[in-house]
Amino acid sequence: MSFLQIQDVSHIYFSKKDRTLAIKDVNLSIEEGEFISILGPSGCGKTTILSIVAGLIQPTIGKVILDRETIVGTNKNTGYMLQQDYLFPWKTIQENIFLGLKLTNQLNEKTKQKTLALLNEMGLSHVKNQYPTQLSGGMRQRVSLVRTLATNPKLLLLDEPFSALDFQTKLKLEDLVFETLKQFEKTAILVTHDIGEAIAMSNRIYLFTNRPGTVHKVFEIPDELAKITPFEARNHPLYNEIFQEVWKELEKLEK
Amino acid sequence: MKSKINIESMHNEYKQKLIRERRFVVFFQLLIFIAFFALWEIASNLKWVDPLVFSSPSKVWNLLVENIIAGTIFSHISITLFETILGFIIGTVAGTILAAILWWSPFLSKVLDPYLVVLNAMPKVALGPILIVALGPTMTSIVAMGAIISVIITTIVVYTSFRETDPNYIKVLQSFGATRWQCFKEAILPSSFPAIISTLKVNVGLSWVGVVVGEFLVSKQGLGYLIIYGFQVFNFTLVMQSLLIIVIFATIMYKIVEVIENALIKNR
Q: Which residues of A touch B166 (CB under 8 A)?
A: 86
Number of A/B CB contacts below 8 angstroms equals 57
Which of the residue ranges A92-101, A165-174, B33-42 has the most confident prediction, judged by mean pLDDT?
Answer: B33-42
Write down the pLDDT at residue B266: 63
Tell me whether residue A78 is in a domain: no
A 162-221 residues with CB < 8 A to B: none
> How far apart (Å, rounded) are the C-alpha atoms in residues A42 and A30?
23
Write down the pLDDT at residue B20: 93
Cα-based distances in Å from B220 to B79, B212, B214, B215, B226: 11, 12, 10, 7, 9
Contact (CB<8Å) B186/A88: yes
Distance of residue A165 Cα from the nearest chain B Cα, in angstroms: 18
Closest CA to B154 of B76, B96, B105, B89: B96
> Which amino acid type is present at position B151?
V
> How far apart (Å, rounded) are the C-alpha atoms in residues B29 and B56?
21
Q: Three-state secondary structure along B33-46? A: HHHHHHHHHHHHHC
User: Dihedral of CA A145/A146/A151/A152: which sign?
Assistant: positive
> How far apart (Å, rounded) are the C-alpha atoms in residues A104 and B174?
11
Q: Is A18 helix (H, G, I), strand (E, B) or coil?
A: coil
> How far apart (Å, rounded) are the C-alpha atoms in residues B216 and B225?
5
Backbone angles phi, psi at A40, to 5 degrees: 180, 165
Tell me whether residue A135 is in a domain: yes
Write down the pLDDT at residue B29: 93
* pLDDT of B167 higher than 70: yes
Which of the residue ranges A43-47, A165-169, A235-239, B65-69 has the most confident prediction, judged by mean pLDDT?
Answer: B65-69
State the alpha helices, DSSP H only, in chain A. 46-53, 93-97, 99-103, 109-121, 137-150, 167-183, 195-201, 223-226, 230-234, 237-254
Tell me whether residue A221 is in a domain: no
Q: B23 pLDDT band (50/70/90 cuts)?
A: very high
Of residues B101 and A27, more confidently modeled = B101
Write down the pLDDT at residue B267: 54
What mean pLDDT value characterizes chain A?
Answer: 81
State the alpha helices, DSSP H only, in B105-235. 106-121, 128-135, 139-163, 167-175, 180-183, 189-191, 193-218, 223-232
Closest CA to A233 of A182, A186, A189, A187: A182
> How far apart (Å, rounded) are the C-alpha atoms in residues A115 and A150?
6
Write down the pLDDT at residue B21: 92
> How far apart (Å, rounded) are the C-alpha atoms in residues A199 and A250?
14
Tell me whether residue A91 is in a domain: yes
Contact (CB<8Å) A151/B176: yes
> How far apart (Å, rounded) are the C-alpha atoms in residues B250 and B192?
24
Tell me whether residue A92 is in a domain: yes
Supply the angle between the helices B236-264 and B57-70 in degrees, to the nearest 10.
80
Tell me whether residue A130 is in a domain: yes
Q: Residues for chain B: how many in total? A: 268
Write down the pLDDT at residue B3: 55
Q: What share of chain A is helix, strand, coil (3-state, %, to 5)?
A: 40, 25, 35
Q: B1 pLDDT band (50/70/90 cuts)?
A: low
Q: Which residues of B touch A96 (CB under 8 A)?
A: none
How many domains does one find in chain A? 1
Mean of pLDDT values over A144-167: 83
Mean of pLDDT values over B3-31: 88
pLDDT digits (tens, 9 = 90+) for B80-112: 999 999 999 999 999 999 999 999 998 999 999
A76, A86, A133: residue with CB nearest B176: A76
ipTM exceeds 0.85, yes or no: no
Q: Label residue B80 left, alpha or beta by phi (over 0 means left) and psi (-120 to 50 means alpha).
A: alpha
Tell me whether residue A58 is in a domain: no
Lowest mean pLDDT among A11-20, B96-105, B233-242: A11-20
| Separation of CA A246 from chain center | 20
A60 in reach of chain B (CB within 8 A): no
* Cβ-contact A46, A40 below 8 angstroms: yes
Gyration radius from chain B CA atoms? 25
Tell me whether residue A254 is in a domain: no
Residue of chain B with shortest Cα separation from A157: B175
B166, B173, B190: residue with CB nearest A103: B173
Domain of A117 in residue numbering reads as: 84-152
Instruction: Calculate the CA dihedral of residues A89, A95, A101, A102 and round it to 10 degrees.
Output: -90
* Cβ-contact A184, A39 below 8 angstroms: no
